[in-house]
Structure 1
Amino acid sequence: MNNRVEWLDIAKGLGIFCIVIGHNVVPQWLYDWVYSFHVPMFFIISGYFYRQRGWRETLAKGWKQLLRPMLLTILIAQALMLFLYVRHGFWSGPPVGEWLYGVATMNGLGYTRGMWFLMALFWGKLWMCLMERFHLPVLGQFCTSMSLFFAGYVLCQCGEEPWFFSRGMAVPLFLCIGRWLKQESVIERGHKSWVLCLALLLVAIAWMFPVNISGYVLPYGIGSVMTAVAISIAVLVVLKKASEMSAVPSKLFLYAGQNSLIILCVHSLIHTWQIVGHVWDALPQIGYVYRVWCWGVFAFFECGFLVVVVYFLQKIPVVRQFFHSK
């Protein structure tokens, strides 16, 4: 991990914790804030590390780093679901054909649908590779990626398509932004006081007036996209500054960021099997408002729990090799 950028790993750590929180029941204001930036920020970070590759290398790295972990997680999740469906000696799940179709198209994966991020990132990198084959200039790539974004938005409104293709069409825009941020050293200039203050102000405004863009919903059209990008960049600037301070939270986020892929996979398994729901159902029933707040606490607890589980999983050489292969 010698080539890693520490503050970006910290940002990925925050991002993966936001994913865990967003998949739990939490107060609405926290849910909206999380969905204002965390997925775009992940894509922007990917763009920060993006470099031009040929088709063969792009496909090979996409398989190793994205598709292989995603498919293994889906396979493990659905294998246990199959066992649960037939454990009483008869089929107790959805119609078999419907279940198989849902798994094959990735539209019926339950909470394992959270793996859509990996599939979309794979599509996004293929789109970038295609644009580079046509030798488009930077402005041309931005315009093309914007066109892809809105074409994907229109396609998404027509209904669920297989393999999250429309969401993948949104990714090149954020990859281009991330690459531009690196080329222009935009985040690195955040050490200036006025830049940091502006970033903190944007994060505070996003906290008070969040723009939830989950599920490709754009309540303010292009304004929603621009807001998500601005918040993501502001969060990165703040985290870059925070990473310079040696503290336990930074180390926690750093570890989570370095192992964000395996955390996502384990988290998806936990929620597909509804382990959190079973634990909650075993607790005494309380009022709805308190229930939501307790779920929020449970979400933060799950973040810590996942770090502990992943720490021990990483002790297994084959697991470490599988998730960190280059």
Structure 2
Amino acid sequence: MKNNQRIVWLDAIKGCGIILVMISHVTPLENWGTYLFSSFMPLFFICSGFVAKDESIPVVLNKKLKSLLIPYWFYGIIATIFFSIVKTGNSYQGGSVHEWWWLVYSRYCFYCYGHEYNLYFMPIESTSPLWFLTALFLGSILSVILLRKKVVSFWGTLFFYIIFTLALSELPILLPWSLDVAFLIAIFMLIGHLLRYFAFTEFIKRNNILIILLVVAYIILTRINGYSNLSVREYGKYGIYSITLFFINGVLFFFLMAWVFISMNGKLVSIFALVGKHSLRLMCIHIPILFCINKFSVKILKYEEKGITIICLIVISLIISILLDRLFNRFRNKFPYLKYL
């Protein structure tokens, strides 16, 4: 396969992941949400590691500055202006001042979630998913540093990444740009990078019974560990001891999604892959779209149904993303940076 060709089943995994992200922002799905929403973020990190090239740190830094931080600031500024205009009051602590401050800090809140005197920067009716871009940026740089090490120093660096993850999980505050979880993100990316060189697709195709066992293991471990949310450094119900369970579940969930989309054929995979190709932009734009859908359904239609909201959010977000893609492609010869949006 040529390097510039997309991997359909990998795009489909990202498509499934971003759909789960959007659903989670509409409804927690009660008990089902724990199994569906606790491990969807590692999907993106492992997928990113799977397609990562063996490049130098300066090259990767330059690429990630453009591909992640340009859309971060572009969509972040636009969304913050949008919410500053449409919100007539301070519907959360700090009001529009904190909406602008989050662009610098890039975290949902300052203290760990649930703190009595917390400072909330990124409420759900704002631009909260954009924390992912800065987290992936740091994780990508750290993963390259790890992969560029020789055998002995590689294991030493990996050991320190694990130690840093454990130590930073005990901090009372959430660090800017998700630095406290970036070392774990780098390890997820390492897993993806290694899987690429172990005939992964053939392994998935030939081990259906093993995959069934992995499904059982995932369900059991998720039930034991409980709900997790990487954006606010919630690894599970056992604090620092849940990090291992969270990591295993993240890898297991990737294996399960890979099995689904590698085994599946037809248009359904293509549809998920189409969504996956737009996953980064969908991560950036779906919250303002959800805000508009909710306002329209409640104030205009006087009707609110979560299922319909989810369908509308996914379809409208995808249509807008495709239109933006065509618009940016049309003018990117004159404005090259449009290709990163």
TM-score above 0.5, yes or no: yes
Letter in 2 for 1:77: A
Given candidates 294, 306, 311, the residue that maps to 1:300 is 311
Residue 196 of structure 1 deviates from its aligned partner by: 4.1
The separation in 1 between residues aligned to 2:49 and 2:4, in whole angstroms, is 19
* Counterpart position of 2:122: 109
* Counterpart position of 2:295: 278
Query: Is the alpha carbon distance of 1:163 and 1:238 closer, same or farther for their aligned partners in structure 2, counting shifts above 3 Å?
Result: same
* Counterpart position of 1:22: 24
Query: Is the alpha carbon distance of 1:102 and 1:26 closer, same or farther for their aligned partners in structure 2, counting shifts above 3 Å?
Result: closer
Given candidates 179, 184, 198, the residue that maps to 1:170 is 184
Letter in 2 for 1:143: F
Partner of 1:315: helix, strand, or coil? Answer: helix
Is 252-261 or 219-228 further displaced after alignment? 219-228
The separation in 2 between residues aligned to 1:201 and 1:295, in whole angstroms, is 29
Cα deviation code 1:127-149 (max 9, x no counterpart): 12333454355544543332232
Given candidates 129, 147, 172, the residue that maps to 2:163 is 147
Contact kept? 2:106, 2:176, Cα under 8 Å: yes
What is the aligned-residue identity percentage? 19
Residue 22 of structure 1 deviates from its aligned partner by: 1.2
Q: After the TM superposition, which residues 23-42 of structure 1 pair with which residues of structure 2 at under 5 Å, given as runs?
A: 23-42=25-44
Query: Is the alpha carbon distance of 1:56 and 1:308 closer, same or farther for their aligned partners in structure 2, counting shifts above 3 Å?
Result: same
Query: Is the alpha carbon distance of 1:72 and 1:325 closer, same or farther for their aligned partners in structure 2, counting shifts above 3 Å?
Result: closer
Query: Is the alpha carbon distance of 1:96 and 1:9 closer, same or farther for their aligned partners in structure 2, counting shifts above 3 Å?
Result: closer
Question: Does structure 1 residue 45 correspond to structure 2 residue 63?
Answer: no
Partner of 1:233: helix, strand, or coil? Answer: helix
Question: Does structure 1 residue 232 correspond to structure 2 residue 254?
Answer: yes
The separation in 2 between residues aligned to 1:140 and 1:130, in whole angstroms, is 12
Matched positions, count: 308
Cα deviation code 1:43-80 (max 9, x no counterpart): 11111112332232122111111111111011101122
Letter in 2 for 1:185: A
In the alignment, structure 1 segments of 5+ residues that lack a partner are 286-290
The separation in 1 between residues aligned to 2:36 and 2:106, in whole angstroms, is 24
Question: Does structure 1 residue 181 correspond to structure 2 residue 195?
Answer: yes
Partner of 1:52: helix, strand, or coil? Answer: coil
Residue 4 of structure 1 deviates from its aligned partner by: 1.0
Residue 82 of structure 1 deviates from its aligned partner by: 3.5
Q: After the TM superposition, which residues 243-282 of structure 1 pair with which residues of structure 2 at under 5 Å, given as runs?
A: 245-247=265-267, 249-271=268-290, 274-282=291-299
Query: Is the alpha carbon distance of 1:133 and 1:185 closer, same or farther for their aligned partners in structure 2, counting shifts above 3 Å?
Result: closer
Query: Is the alpha carbon distance of 1:308 and 1:69 closer, same or farther for their aligned partners in structure 2, counting shifts above 3 Å?
Result: same
Contact kept? 1:149, 1:171, Cα under 8 Å: no
Two-structure CA RMSD over aligned residues (Å): 3.1
Query: Is the alpha carbon distance of 1:227 and 1:93 closer, same or farther for their aligned partners in structure 2, counting shifts above 3 Å?
Result: closer
Contact kept? 1:13, 1:257, Cα under 8 Å: yes
* Counterpart position of 1:219: 237
Cα deviation code 1:278-300 (max 9, x no counterpart): 13422446xxxxx6xx3244123
* Counterpart position of 2:118: none
Q: After the TM superposition, which residues 126-141 of structure 1 pair with which residues of structure 2 at under 5 Å, given as runs?
A: 126-132=141-147, 134-137=149-152, 139-141=155-157
Residue 8 of structure 1 deviates from its aligned partner by: 0.3
Residue 38 of structure 1 deviates from its aligned partner by: 0.8
Partner of 1:53: helix, strand, or coil? Answer: coil
The separation in 2 between residues aligned to 1:15 and 1:323, in whole angstroms, is 25
The separation in 2 between residues aligned to 1:200 and 1:324, in whole angstroms, is 38
Residue 10 of structure 1 deviates from its aligned partner by: 0.7
The separation in 1 between residues aligned to 2:99 and 2:320, in whole angstroms, is 30
Contact kept? 1:141, 1:176, Cα under 8 Å: no
The separation in 2 between residues aligned to 1:153 and 1:128, in whole angstroms, is 19
The separation in 1 between residues aligned to 2:307 and 2:326, in whole angstroms, is 30
Letter in 1 for 2:262: K
* Counterpart position of 1:241: 263
Task: Please report the TM-score for the alignment, with normalisation by the length of structure 1.
Answer: 0.81
Partner of 2:170: helix, strand, or coil? Answer: helix
The separation in 2 between residues aligned to 1:44 and 1:253, in whole angstroms, is 17
Q: Which has the higher contact order (CA 8 A, sep 6+)?
A: 1
Query: Is the alpha carbon distance of 1:141 and 1:51 closer, same or farther for their aligned partners in structure 2, counting shifts above 3 Å?
Result: farther
